[in-house]
A = this chain, B = another copy of it.
Amino acid sequence: MILYDYWRSSAAFRVRIALALKGVAVERRFVHLTRDGGEQRRPDYRAKNPQALVPALELDDGRVLTQSLAIIDYLETILPEPRLTPSDPILAARARAAALTVACEIHPLGNLRVAEYLARELGLGDEAIARWRRHWIVTGFEAIEAMIEPAPFCFGATPTIADICLAPQVFNAQRFGVAPDAFPNIRAAAAACAAHPAFIAAHPSAQPDAE
């Protein structure tokens, strides 16, 4: 399989964590999101992923899967162990809800193309864009803080889809000046992730294309 990847994309970071947890080695192709107007917008990449986003996972038969959470569910189906969603249906729903709070309530509002729109179409400066990002991170973290019960991961002794989404968002939050100090549950889960080999291997700073 080939992972189309970018070190600082938190959606790609999620898939790297899942692959590391499952112990799957993949070929990597790096798509630089800000160089030359964004390599993700090139026709050859758009032919792989019409959304022009990373990550994308190309299977051995050439078919391409997109959307990080759909890719992770696919990996969970073809490689069930270790589980990334709890076996208890209610716990699974809670882990998914925490993951989706990151993926649907925080991440979409802070990503690159939204920042580009705010700057280009609405004339916002860097500080106003940073304030926007921090607002949605804090709003989402307030919700997640009440949803998780770290022990030490979000939903128990092993990482789940919730940790896979939360750790990259905490990394992003720190980049934009939101420290997790006000969120003790998030801070605890993030600390557990930071010490786990799969999260260490998947961390943006450990990637070959890191700048």
Report if A63 contacts B (CB, 8 A): yes
- Contact (Cβ within 8 A) A103 B105: no
Indicate the member of A51, A78, A90, A124 with the most B CB atoms within 10 Å: A51
A89 to B178, CA, bound (A): 38
What's the least CB distance linking A151 to chain B, in Å?
18
Report if A198 contacts B (CB, 8 A): no
With A65-B94, A89-B78 as known contacts, state yes or no: A114 contacts B124, CB within 8 Å.
Answer: no
**Residues of A within 8 Å of B, CB-based: how many?**
48
User: Nearest B residue to A47 by beta-carbon distance?
Assistant: B146
User: Nearest B residue to A68 by beta-carbon distance?
Assistant: B100
Report if A59 contacts B (CB, 8 A): yes
Report if A1 contacts B (CB, 8 A): no
Which of B69, B89, B104 is in CB contact (< 8 Å) with A108?
Answer: B104
Report if A66 contacts B (CB, 8 A): yes
Query: Which B residues are CB-close (under 8 A) to A74?
Result: 89-90, 92-93
Query: Which B residues are CB-close (under 8 A) to A89?
Result: 74, 77-78
With A59-B90, A146-B50 as known contacts, state yes or no: A97 contacts B70, CB within 8 Å.
Answer: yes
Query: Which B residues are CB-close (under 8 A) to A114?
Result: 109
Which of B52, B96, B117, B145 is in CB contact (< 8 Å) with A70?
Answer: B96
Report if A207 contacts B (CB, 8 A): no
Task: Return the 5 tightest CB-CB contacts between A and B, nearest first.
Answer: A50-B146, A70-B96, A67-B97, A74-B93, A51-B143
Q: Please list the residues of chain A having a beta carbon within 8 angstroms of any beta carbon in chain B.
A: 50-53, 59, 63, 65-67, 69-71, 73-74, 77-78, 89-90, 92-94, 96-97, 99-101, 103-105, 107-109, 113-114, 117, 121-122, 124, 128, 131-132, 135, 139, 142-143, 145-147
Q: Give me 25 A-to-B residue pairs in the complex whose CB atoms sit less than 8 angstroms apart, sorted by A's number.
A: A50-B143, A50-B147, A59-B90, A66-B97, A67-B100, A67-B101, A69-B96, A69-B100, A69-B104, A73-B92, A74-B89, A74-B93, A103-B104, A104-B104, A104-B107, A104-B108, A108-B108, A109-B109, A109-B114, A113-B139, A121-B131, A121-B132, A122-B122, A122-B124, A122-B128
